[in-house]
Amino acid sequence: MPELPEVETVRRGITPHLIHQEVSSVEVFYPPITHGLSGAELTQLIQGKKLSAIYRRGKYLIFELTDCLLVGHLRMEGKLQFITRSKNPFNPSKHVHWVIHLANGNSLVYHDTRKFGRWHLYPETTDLTKVQELEGLGLEPIEDLPLDYFYHGVHHRHLPLKQLLLDQHILLGLGNIYADDTCFEAGIHPFTLGHHLTKKQCRAIEIAAKNVLERAIIAGGTTIRTYVASEYIDGLFSNPTKVYGRSGEPCDVCGSMILKSMRIGRSTHWCPTCQERRK
DNA sequence: CTTGCTGTTCGGAA
DNA sequence: GTTCCGAACAGCAA
């Protein structure tokens, strides 16, 4: 489900409920999601430890506990649900794959219909440089980037812009939805090849990505206020896209019909007028 | 019923 | 080294 804004919204939503809280036990119903660790094994490893921080890097969530890290990726459909003591004992649905119980009686529940998500415990370190999943990741588009950063990442590549935006080794956090909207916001055709992009276009893409993601985070932030503890935080906010999922509809800016194409197993959406193809 | 599509990433083949 | 393709899984719509 989540791209960067959704993961960030989940992080902000659950942090106040979890920070400084102590883990009492862990249940695991589908161990492949926890690198094969059972509930008993995970309980053994983190029982009595306190959550000291929750970070996000790209689409990864990182729970820092006493002397250890729990690193997770929600992939397509992972969701976290915080439930209060009053909802316990909790009857997990068949798509709930782990539950972390806190000493105060509340619980954090992981739900993932397609079971693509992964959670990896690093039992003896809080050093993020030791985390394999984070090795080689690119930079956050919502933070300041070095001069011509995206240009240097793509000008020698023979892949379409859309695919380069999905590559987490260059810019972090864009998925299929926000990659399409980033191309639209930058006014560049998603199939423009990396080595045809100018420095100016690349700068426009950096700015577009930042704006698209920040707007979505704000939309999530407004939604989160209505967040109810018993509901999944899945970040499908009232944050309308400009082109994604809108093929056949008129473009907001020029009225042209938005197009859709299937490539490499993913859909891509664009406005043929606002994103005229050059090469 | 079957097929294709879905917000992701990885590993192995070309 | 870069690029392509299928796999992991479940549900839904056509």
Residue nearest to nucleotide B6 (CA to C1'): A76
Report the 10 Å Cβ neighbour count for A62.
Answer: 21
pTM of the predicted structure, to 2 decimals: 0.95
**Which residues in A70-100 are b (16+ Cβ under 10 Å) and which e?**
bbbbbbebbbbbbbeeebeeeeeeeebbbbb
Strand (E) or helix (H) holding A213: helix A199-224
**Active site positions of A, annotated:** 2-3, 59, 266
pLDDT at A229: 44
Q: Which nucleotides of B are covered by protein (CB under 7 A)?
A: 5-10
Q: How would you write the pLDDT of chain A (279 residues) with one tens digit per residue?
A: 689 999 998 999 899 999 999 999 999 999 999 999 999 999 999 999 999 999 999 999 999 999 999 999 999 989 999 999 888 788 888 999 999 999 999 999 999 999 999 999 999 999 999 999 999 999 999 999 999 999 999 999 999 999 999 999 999 999 999 999 999 999 999 999 999 999 999 999 999 999 999 999 988 765 544 444 445 555 445 678 999 999 999 999 999 999 999 877 799 999 999 998 765
Q: Which nucleotides of C are covered by protein (CB under 7 A)?
A: 2-11
| Distance, CA of A225 to C1' of C2, in Å | 45
pLDDT at A90: 81
Please state, in angstroms and rounded to a whole number, the distance separating the CA atoms of residues A222 and A147.
33
Any strand B atom closer than 7 Å to A22 CB: no
Name the nt closest to A163 by C-alpha to C1': C3
pLDDT at A223: 53
Kindly state the DSSP code that residue A89 receives in the 8-state scheme: S
- Residues ≥6 apart with Cβ < 8 Å to A58: A4, A7, A137, A138, A140, A168, A172, A173
DSSP reduced 3-state for A64:
strand
pLDDT at A110: 94
In 3D, which of A69, A17, A19 has the Cα closest to residue A46?
A69
